[in-house]
Copies of this chain bind each other. A is one copy, B any other.
Amino acid sequence: MESVVQVSGTVISRPPGQENPKMPTGEIEIKVKTAKLLNSCKKLPFEIKDFVKKTEALRLRYRYLDLRGVQMQYNLRLRSQMVMKMREYLCNLHGFVDIETPTLFKRTPGGAKEFVIPSREPGKFYSLPQSPQQFKQLLMVGGLDRYFQVARCYRDEGSRPDRQPEFTQIDIEMSFVEQTGIQSLIEGLLQYSWPSDKDPVVVPFPSMTFAEALASYGTDKPDTRFGMKIVDISDMFRNTKVGFLQDALSKPQGTIKAICIPEGEKYLKRKDIESIRKFAADHFNQEVLPIFLKTSNNWNSPVAKFIMEEQGLGLIRLLETQEEDVVLLTAGEHKKACSLLGKLRLECADLLEARGVVLRDPALFSFLWVVDFPLFFPKEENPEELEAAHHPFTAPHPSDIHLLYTEPQKVRSQHYDLVLNGSEIGGGSIRIHDAELQHYILATVLKEDVKLLSHLLQALDYGAPPHGGIAIGLDRLTCLVTGAPSIRDVIAFPKSFQGHDLMSNAPDSIPPEELKPYHIQVSWPTDSETEKSSLNHPCHPES
């Protein structure tokens, strides 16, 4: 099994009835004259069959054997083919120039998630960039007006599931372009590179504003493969007698929202509803009320008796409910209520599918542009201060520029996200090309250290063209296309949750003399620190 042999002989047809049309070589066999063992295989740690269950730790430790599996071969070969088609589209059909940008760079403002690399100059470090953002803008200033790169990017987020410390994005930037130009380029790119064994991509993709996505789906990356949209039913309850609804409506941004789960009564068990309500209480500090719609006049709900007939009929009309549906209702501040119901919507979809309902067709790829994001968000730790919603180079929406100097928190941006089946697979924006505006946003609005970006600010002053771009997350995209359970299944040698290479045992210790040229030494944690950190990040739990 799995040894390598060299065979010579005569190609003959398989005996009638023994052909295998599923194999490329299924019609022939070889009548062997000589056979030679080129390399033998010792006892395998697991059988190389996709249906044989093995832990991910074992797969990663023997990745070179795991790669022999049919699914991993398919995933990596499909990825290669898709990228090749993308290159043809960009390079051969649209005149883009493939340009490599450095990965030994310097830290960017707020770059706390950037790996550092000590240099041979004492105290001086390179940083591994999170994206080629600055370089691609500088290329536009440099007159390379259509840039792309399949770019390796780095982000040190510690241990997080389904994130990799190094990842790859299709990185694109164009001069003299507007939002719609980038969007149609990307639609064409995906259509052109889409695997031929999948249903073709339909363009143009639908578009939705950030505000609409939040209101209807409770998230900026809506899964539009199924309904169950969030509906605002505040108006139905202006005169309600139910205390917590009254309360909610009386507060600023107070709303009442609901989603309708089709045939919920059939599929959701009592304990499901209970766990839904508990989730809402624990994570959102919100009350959720289930309403079982037996018939229009027969409400089975804790609030049934307070719902007047016209409210009931309104509810049915707004939510388009049918018999046996279940309505989940919550009340509270707009954003919070939407976020909660957005989460519950996905939770319920999982529950329904676990019980056999086909809600999300696995052959369906539902693309969506989300646009008109806010330019800034209040900082979580200090809501008085603003931070860039995406990055500080994003251009404000032309209609909102006047607000920048008065109510910056209200300014929308020219940022756009590309969402596929509820996952963000890309994002980009039209950039600021005006040095003065860029300086104002960095220094006055965001209060960043402008010195770290002086080269970029200076570059904008030398006749920078208007420009914009986008980056598509290649790992995530390939993962969705292949239907792989994790991005680790579309990467040849991924790191584990803890950022380890379980095969080669990276990261590894380094002798102090090899650190000397870099003028660094290890600060070994004290015993108490070690204990604390090993509680948070247990060592090697995967192996």
Contacts and interface: CB of A to CB of B under 8 A. Distances in A.
A333 B124 CA distance: 46
A519 B523 contact: yes
Interface in A490-543: 491-493, 495, 499, 501, 503-510, 514-516, 518-525, 530, 537, 539
Given A462-B41, A503-B455, A107 B510 contact: yes
A451 to B, nearest CB: 9
Interface in A56-71: 62-68
Given A100-B152, A463-B2, A492-B101, A63 B142 contact: yes
A76 B144 contact: yes
Nearest to A166: B104
A337 interface: no
A105 B499 CA distance: 11
A115 interface: yes
A382 interface: no
A195 interface: no
A122 B168 contact: no
Interface stretch (A19-27, A132-140, A314-322): A132-140
Contacts of A158: 120
A38 interface: yes
Contact of A492 (B39, B64, B99, B492): B99
Interface stretch (A84-92, A210-218, A369-377): A84-92
Interface in A111-158: 112, 115-128, 134-135, 138-139, 141-144, 152, 154, 156, 158
A348 to B, nearest CB: 37
Contacts of A72: 142
A264 interface: no
A44 B73 CA distance: 53
A116 B118 contact: yes
A539 B165 CA distance: 33
Contact of A125 (B99, B135, B460, B508): B508
Nearest to A156: B120
A463 B519 contact: no
A227 B127 CA distance: 48
A26 to B, nearest CB: 19
A8 to B, nearest CB: 13
Nearest to A126: B507
A273 interface: no
Given A101-B493, A116-B515, A121-B507, 10 more contacts: A4-B465, A38-B465, A87-B87, A99-B492, A100-B168, A102-B493, A120-B156, A124-B509, A134-B504, A519-B522
For the complex of A and B, list the 10 residue pairs with the smallest distance between their C-beta atoms, beginning with the closest.
Answer: A67-B142, A41-B463, A106-B506, A124-B507, A119-B507, A64-B141, A80-B98, A68-B143, A106-B508, A64-B142
12 contacts: A3-B463, A41-B461, A41-B462, A64-B139, A64-B142, A67-B144, A76-B97, A104-B165, A106-B504, A116-B514, A124-B507, A127-B506
